[in-house]
Structure 1
Amino acid sequence: MSMLPTLSREAAMLENGKARLLISGDFVTAEAFAVLAQLSTEQSTLELMAWKRAGKIFSLAHEDKEYFPLYAFDRALGYCPFSPLAAIITTFGSSKPEWAMAFWFGSSNSYLGGQMPKDVMVDDPARVLDAAQSEAYGARHG
């Protein structure tokens, strides 16, 4: 029996999931971020790339465009990245590539009482970091 039908179905599901993420409104291009943060497109792109290189944010590449998660940025601090996000990215390391991380942020999480990490990020980013550490290292009992 061939595995191809199963693989193509999984690939289609993954592509559908990616498309849903990108149209969710949670992700923006550098140009759209520039408008929100009131920066020039050039300045926006430079800042986003610097933050990405520094591991402070992640992005999703899709069809020659790069998309950045809106929930990564603290509006109260002029759209700078939430500081715990860098620790979350480090916690997951190579175990969660960007798309997997995006799915994690947009999925219900038992460590957060069924809430999605992206929704808790604004009010309690430290709790999201705890949830990431619990997922990455397994539940630790004191």
Structure 2
Amino acid sequence: MYRDNLYRMEVPSTMPAHAFAPRNLNWNVEQGEAQDLAHGLEKSEAQALVFVSHARPDDERTKALFGFLRRASEVADVMIEKKQQSSWDAIIEALTPTLPLTSSRVLEAKMLAQAMTKVIESEDFARAADIAEIGHFSSKNPSSQPNRWKNSGLIFAIPYKGVDLYPLYALELQNGAKPLPIMEKILGVLQEKDDWQKAFWFASPNSYLKSKAPKDLLKSKPQDVLRAAETEAAGVQHG
């Protein structure tokens, strides 16, 4: 003779009134013979969900099933909360009006997109893999050296479609590849600009440089470009 195996999950009889607050429901998971667990259930005021197996205690299928139910009970609260939060977010989004951009913001977005496209199509920028090939760097991790330059403030890179693009005009390419010495000083002066703003500045005609773009004078007149950067930074600080 053998008694039925029983698996029960017990939860408090009263549930929190607020639907979306984080909960710790305190699942009380017990496994054993039905007659042994029934006595505890008789005295409990909690709600219970009971699974009963009529197989032998050593039945492997029953053990596997009860193991699955135990693991499922451990993540049930999280799954319910995520589902409720997802529904809540959907309701909020549905009730929030969609506000169109003003004409000035649309124009600004178009101008920014055009400026970014111009930079990308200028062929002044290259991927880390391309620079690694030019500089004969490690092919296993081609982005490691350019990344170290960027992290050290020796060069900058613009993010584009998940890839960093590095300015070729900021590199000395005659003997391998390395950042021009003046770049560290210039980037230090322009540190308040983000990477795209730096790219725009290097590519734009500069009145201090007689309407020439800073990128075109980095090698021939690096100190003039540095002073132009200092003038730019001073204007931003006082502007």
Specify the TM-score bucket, using the shorter chain as the normaliser: 0.7 to 0.9
Query: Deviations 1:8-37 (Å, cap 9, x if unpaired)?
Result: 121121012111101111000112212222
2:170 corresponding residue in structure 1: 72
The runs of 5 or more residues in structure 2 that have no matched partner are 1-99
Specify which structure has the bigger relative contact order, considering alpha-carbon pairs within 8 angstroms and separated by 6 or more residues.
Answer: 1
Q: Which amino acid aligns with 1:27?
A: F
- Give the structure with higher Rg (CA): 2
Q: Relative to total residues, which structure has the larger strand share, 1 or 2?
A: 2
Q: Is 1:15 matched up with 2:145?
A: no
Query: Deviations 1:77-128 (Å, cap 9, x if unpaired)?
Result: 532101111111110112x111111011001111111111000012122221
For the residues of structure 2 that align with 1:84 and 1:77, how far apart are their CA atoms? 17
Q: Relative to total residues, which structure has the larger helix share, 1 or 2?
A: 1
1:81-96 to 2 correspondences below 5 Å = 81-94=179-192, 96=193
Which of 89, 100, 103 is the aligned partner of 1:5?
103
Which of 222, 225, 238 is the aligned partner of 1:125?
222
The runs of 5 or more residues in structure 1 that have no matched partner are none
Q: In angstroms, what is the RMSD of aligned CA positions?
A: 1.7
Deviates more, 1:123-132 or 1:34-43: 34-43
Q: Is 1:103 matched up with 2:195?
A: no
TM-score norm. by structure 1 comes to: 0.87
**Kept after mapping to 2: 8 A contact 1:56/1:89:** yes
1:137 corresponding residue in structure 2: 234
TM-score norm. by structure 2 comes to: 0.53
Q: Is 1:61 matched up with 2:159?
A: yes
For the residues of structure 1 that align with 2:233 and 2:140, how far apart are their CA atoms? 36
**Kept after mapping to 1: 8 A contact 2:182/2:222:** yes
The sequence identity of aligned pairs, in percent, is 32
